[in-house]
Structure 1
Amino acid sequence: MLPHSNPFSQACFVGRVWRPGIGPALIRLDGDTVIDITSRDLPTMQALLETADPAATAKAATGVPICDLSELLQASTADAGSDALRILAPPDLQAVKASGVTFAESMVERVIEEQAAGDPDRAEAIRQRVKRVIGDSLAGIVPGSEQAMKVKSVLQEEELWSQYLEVGIGPDAEVFTKCQPMAAVGWGAAVGLHPMSNWNNPEPEIVLAINSRGEIVGATLGNDVNLRDVEGRSALLLGKAKDNNASCAIGPFLRLFNDGFSLDDVRKAELSMEVTGQDGFQMDGHSSMTKISRDPASIVEQTIGRHHQYPDGFFLFLGTMFAPVKDRDAQGQGFTHHAEDVVKITESTLGQLENTVRLSTDCPEWTFGTAALMRNLSQRGLL
């Protein structure tokens, strides 16, 4: 699940787990040992990321061994009870944000979704027309550049200009709220699809951790589940498409930036993904951060600044180039999830995020919010 090769021996992985009878705990990995480093100074992930040097602070923190990593993985399942030992998503008090249409390849698929009005039966014919017009014109394009504006003019003449292309190659990035603080699920949990959706897919992404000062302090993996039919009908349905019970997964743990790992490593990350269904269907995907249209630091700068503050920091999905077109149920309809699909997202420096797909209505209800966290920490004498 985590990288163990020599170049990553100094990696600093932190995260959150649920301890039975106790509640959420801030943890550090020491090899294969899970260490609870929760304290009055570090009651939450938010508190850790606000320190001057989160990696050094986490390394120096004293703690109590909880279990081995293998035991934690075995316990972290889609059917784990509400008070069972399990991995939680790394963010707690932070907002969970996402940037969309940051890769040219997925940008084209968003245009197809819009043109098809969410109808998968129309997608293939529209895909061929769009690709005939666009071709390779978006490869290597810099959003907001003179070249981008020329491409915009051509697409407008062909009546193919789209709001997705506006945020894809225009000057302003799309940044939206993916879910509420602590609503993301962790490794092993069930990730949810709204029952109204019949055309959907996983989205393997890098997720950055940013503190209140706008400093990027670490990275992890995420699955920003995409309801293609819902968002395709209207971009005004983005909130309904993106923010539902268990609608995204983050983890397995957060790798903090230090001398051995930085934003430059994120910029060259190579993500792979595997979807395995109970029907025997299997699909592999890939997303290369080297092909992102906007630099991650630029997206962060558009998200936080004098125009918008995040006192508790935020986690930011960076988008994906993955847009599956492999047929599953019918020719020309491409891919859509089935219940109990297992999704594995892997990156060599960040490990592997694994989740089981279910309807949001079949996933455990999210009940432990900010008020519950504050009560819990107070009862434990951590505030």
Structure 2
Amino acid sequence: MNATSLPDGILLGRAAVPGQAYPSVVTLRDGQLIDITAKGMATVRDIAESGRAAEHVRTAEGKPLGDAAAILAQAEASLPRLLAPVDLQAIKASGVTFVVSLLERVIEEQARGDKGRADALRVEILGLIGTDLSELVPGSDAAMNVKAALIEKGVWSQYLEVGIGPDAEIFTKAQPMSAVGPGADVGLHPISSWNNPEPEIALLVTSSGQIIGATLGNDVNLRDVEGRSALLLGKAKDNNASASLGPFVRLFDGEFTLETVKGAEVGLRVEGEDGFVLEGRSNMAEISRTPESLVAATLGEHHQYPDGLVLYLGTMFAPVKDRDGAGKGFTHKIGDIVSISTPALGTLSNRVNLSTKCPPWTYGASHLMRDLARADLL
């Protein structure tokens, strides 16, 4: 990672500081990483729940920890290391939120690799639908007409149900405190031979349902495991180091808002040790369910999150570029560098490894509370 990874705005994050038991709450000012950990405001959760998160981060007293660009680049082992920028929040994710790419995957699946058949299916299905897919609203009468047409053609699936049906797919991506941050290894379960990154924007949401900021995320996905059965979603999604977030949460202010998120374009670049390069982009303007509706589907009278949550919004990018020969498609190799970026949020880069080879997750909420209590920060 390099200096171009540093976004503007009011930034909130966490860092492991050498020689210090607990992670520091940090921000970025004038190119310096600043420790703003304070009694009563010693966690990202505390700041988010304060009702004045942006103001607090902007005005809080702090001490410099070093050059932010050098820290992001992990230039020296003696420097602090950025962690995922959330702590006690639940880590949730929404799936199948881009209708256009979803229906294209269904068409390709039904065609079984026959491009001519895919073209014919596309014409046939679009003729039945009779609408612009990018304007299809999940759960609407038009969407239900599409559902009926696809069922008649024998191409309905549980993924289409959550893609254009009335209910969004919301699942637990990882446990609080288990996500990794920029520069860390991300993990693939060793049983998987077909997997991919999922570049996404993730929202920081308070316990009251207020959306106060956003960050970047990699929802590491095992396509072969989930493809065997949707009931294996937990095994496909929640493994050691399978959730990456960062580099910072950018808090909403007058210049950066939820509307900024809705118009963002998220870039993906995968660079392999074998020389393979994959690039793609995901345009948030094409999301089928609004971020507000996904948050409402996650928490409310039906479900509470007293420490708030971070919510991955989904991706329209499904990598299909052949890697090891024609028709073999894409899957990760150990050592791949995955970089997810958008100008407003910076760049999140991680190296791919097996989940069994990534550092084990050993520091949880109980450890954080004990360490903060010992430091008289609670």
1:168 partner SS: helix
8 Å contact from structure 2 (residues 5, 346) kept in 1: no
Cα distance between partner residues in 1 of 2:271 and 2:360: 25
8 Å contact from structure 2 (residues 65, 80) kept in 1: no
**What residue number does 1:102 align with?**
97
**What residue number does 1:219 align with?**
214
**What residue number does 2:18 align with?**
20
Task: Indicate the percent of aligned positions where both proteins have the same amino acid.
Answer: 54
| Alignment TM-score, normalising by the size of structure 1 | 0.91
8 Å contact from structure 1 (residues 105, 322) kept in 2: no
Cα distance between partner residues in 1 of 2:335 and 2:354: 9
Q: Which moved more, 1:100-109 or 1:273-282?
A: 100-109
Change (3 A) 1:84 1:35: closer
Instruction: Describe how 1:241-252 pairs up with structure 2 within 5 A.
Output: 241-252=236-247
**What residue number does 2:182 align with?**
187
Cα distance between partner residues in 1 of 2:237 and 2:315: 15
**What residue number does 1:43 align with?**
42
**TM-align CA RMSD:** 2.3
Number of equivalences: 370
**What residue number does 1:283 align with?**
278
Query: How far 1:378 moved relative to its partner?
Result: 1.0
8 Å contact from structure 1 (residues 110, 164) kept in 2: no
Cα distance between partner residues in 2 of 1:379 and 1:199: 45
**What residue number does 1:377 align with?**
372
AA matched with 1:373: L
**What residue number does 2:252 align with?**
257
8 Å contact from structure 1 (residues 123, 332) kept in 2: no
Instruction: Describe how 1:93-242 pairs up with structure 2 within 5 A.
Output: 93-108=88-103, 111=106, 124-125=113-114, 128=118, 131=122, 133-135=124-126, 137=129, 138-242=133-237
| Alignment TM-score, normalising by the size of structure 2 | 0.92
Q: Deviations over 1:297-321 (max 9, x none)?
A: 1110111101110000000000000
| Gaps in structure 2 of 5+ consecutive residues | none
AA matched with 1:172: D
Query: How far 1:112 moved relative to its partner?
Result: 7.2
2:160 partner SS: helix
8 Å contact from structure 1 (residues 230, 241) kept in 2: yes
AA matched with 1:181: P
Cα distance between partner residues in 2 of 1:2 and 1:149: 48
2:233 partner SS: helix
| Gaps in structure 1 of 5+ consecutive residues | 117-121
8 Å contact from structure 1 (residues 207, 219) kept in 2: yes
Q: Deviations over 1:61-80 (max 9, x none)?
A: 11111111123123389xx7
Structure 1 residue runs of 4+, over 6 Å off?
A: 2-5
Cα distance between partner residues in 2 of 1:76 and 1:46: 29
Query: How far 1:4 moved relative to its partner?
Result: 9.1
**What residue number does 1:352 align with?**
347
